[in-house]
Amino acid sequence: MYSKVEAQRIKHDFFIAFAEKYPRKWILHNTKIKDFSLKFYVDNKKAEVMFSIENRDSEKRYAYFDKLLSLRSILLEEHEPEAIFEKDVYLENKTLSKVWVEKSGISVNNRATWDAIFDFFNEKMSAFESFFYEYEDFIKDI
């Protein structure tokens, strides 16, 4: 078990190494849609790449989620066949909607799995970004 400071250092080192292996600018929060972002997530059990819709107004959050849902077959057939859609994800201090892919059996604490995570992040985020760029105007229009 790592202390909070050690865990933060490991994640910091992880993302520095990821940026060195795949030195490019990702969309992430630059979607130009409030509370709609693409995210990387990694912990000691799994890695995820996701569209995260965190608008506190559930009506707006659902409207954006429904836009993604209406494009589901395109996303699954042309970009990311393993994408999972979840309308309500309950966290400690908020509820969000997300569309994501996951890789399990890896750990940010195990440097031997970092390359597999980096490759997963690059492949899946590239697919999500491609999809977003293609349908950005449609998604934004709520």
pLDDT of residue 107: 96
pLDDT of residue 2: 79
Topology (CATH level 3) of domain 4-140:
Yope Regulator; Chain: A, (3.30.1460)
- Asked if residue 83 lies in contact with residue 76, where contact means CB atoms within 8 angstroms, the answer is yes
Q: Where do the structural domains in the chain lie, given as residue ranges?
A: 4-140
Q: How far apart are CA 22 and CA 31, in angstroms?
A: 20
pLDDT of residue 3: 86
Per-residue pLDDT of the chain in tens (142 residues, 90 and over written 9): 678 899 899 999 999 999 999 999 999 999 999 999 999 999 999 999 999 999 999 999 999 999 999 999 999 999 999 999 999 999 999 999 999 999 999 999 999 999 999 999 999 999 999 999 999 999 999 8
pLDDT of residue 23: 96
pLDDT of residue 4: 85
DSSP per-residue letters across the chain: ---HHHHHHHHHHHHHHHHHHS-----TTTTSSTTEEEEEEE-SSEEEEEEEE--SSHHHHHHHHHHHHHTHHHIIIII-TT-EEEEEEE-SS-EEEEEEEEEES--TT-GGGHHHHHHHHHHHHHHHHHHHHHHHHHHH--
- Asked if residue 58 lies in contact with residue 15, where contact means CB atoms within 8 angstroms, the answer is no
